[in-house]
Amino acid sequence: MITVVEANTKALLKEYVKFPFELYKNHPYWVPPLIADELETFDKSKNPAFSSAEAYFYLAYRDGKVVGRIAAIINWNEVNNQGKKKVRFGWWDVVDDIAVTKALLEKVYELGMAHDLDHVEGPMGFSNLDKVGVLTEGFNEIGSMITWYNYPYYKDHLEQLGFVKEKEYLENRFSFNNVNPDFFIKANDLIVKRYGLKPVNFTSTSAIMPYVDKMFDLFNASYASLSSFVAITEVQKEYFKKKYISFINPEYIKFILDKDDKMIAFSIVMPSFSEALQKTKGKLFPFGFYHLLQAKKNSKDVLFYLIGIDPEYQSKGVTAVVFNEYYKVFKAKGIQNCIRTPELEDNHAIHNIWKHFNPVTFRRRRTYTKSL
């Protein structure tokens, strides 16, 4: 018999966070989150996402043992401001038993129907800066700290329960050693002169902070046209600023200003923490922090986490200016692989940015939807 319980205490939330550690124990490609970080994400007093969203976390038990988990989420900005009558599900992990998946999803359906919503979509988090999608290809590739890994049967469970594909995401990579700098160095000189652009580089986190609010404003503007986009709120800006900016090498954050000092492009790259996180086993102490610090300093793989370009400057070659700045840093650090985080299959503007780098799609993931 399967019993589903709301994880509404500290003890149950900790059990919720720790379940994937058992499900993927010693798995070579699963990358564990930091337990403390996950608990903070689900803490309504700390995560500002709860100011515009509500979420409930559920555990499935069989014979006294946890066999699955799921989050049921409503992003009220999405429902009220965009008119999308959608209930989300995320942080979904399950043993290979479709009855468990069905029991967990029933809780998501209940939340949606209680608020007169008409469809469910997932897996996804509170916002566009959370993890997204069920992995459908690339199971033999190590995951990353900003994506979910899952077993192949996850997709099968959803499809057998009547879910259909909603959005497809691609993950691509290219070898830095194969990058020919000639085309973007020449383009950089031309574009900088034509538009009066100024790259801004950093050597300290404190120097970045005065620009961060403008960066999030530009993020909202540059992604607004995507059908899945929900804008980052003011309170979320402050939260992400404190939580993530100090975690990133300052030399991996690039801003481009125009002649009037208006930010027209930004990019955030992160060192790959995948292997370091596997070594931490979800804990910063006693040795986890050391592994992460070593990866921050020495990782030869980098992830292009976010890139945003003012709509007025899209298709004007500004990315040549951005990558010209990264090329200098990557060459000095001996970077080997550049990995792009999940991008919507139909986001052709992003794909065009990278076409000269001969990228290879190595993973695919998707969200699924079902009418209520």
pLDDT at site 244? 79
How far, in Å, CA of 145 to CA of 12, rounded? 23
Contact 341, 264 (CB under 8 A): no
2-169 and 174-364 in the same fold? yes
Q: How far apart are the first and last CA of the chain?
A: 25
Q: 174-364 falls under which CATH superfamily?
A: Gcn5-related N-acetyltransferase (GNAT) (3.40.630.30)
pLDDT at site 333? 95
What's the whole-model pTM score? 0.93
pLDDT at site 236? 84
The burial of 54, by beta-carbon neighbours within 10 Å (0-12 exposed, 13-18 middle, 19 or more buried), is given as middle
Ramachandran region, residue 265 (left: φ > 0; alpha: ψ -120 to 50; beta: rest): beta
Q: Measure the CA angle with vertex 300, ends 296 and 306; round to 5°.
A: 70
Which residues of the chain are under the pLDDT cut of 50?
A: none
Greatest C-alpha distance within the chain:
69
Contact 237, 212 (CB under 8 A): yes
How far, in Å, CA of 112 to CA of 342, rounded? 27
Q: Which CATH number fits the domain 2-169, given the four candidates 3.10.620.30, 1.20.140.10, 3.40.630.30, 3.30.70.260?
A: 3.40.630.30
Residue with tokens 């007093």: 45
How far, in Å, CA of 329 to CA of 335, rounded? 9
Rg (CA), the chain: 21
How far, in Å, CA of 267 to CA of 26, rounded? 34
Domain spans in the chain, listed from the N-terminal domain onward: 2-169, 174-364
Sign of CA dihedral 359, 264, 199, 212: negative
Indicate the residue type of 273: F
Q: What length does the chain have?
A: 372
Q: At what angle do helices 205-223 and 234-244 cross, to 10 degrees?
A: 140
Contact 59, 9 (CB under 8 A): no
pLDDT at site 228? 67
C-alpha distances (whole Å) from 61 to each of 17, 65, 105, 291 are 15, 5, 14, 34
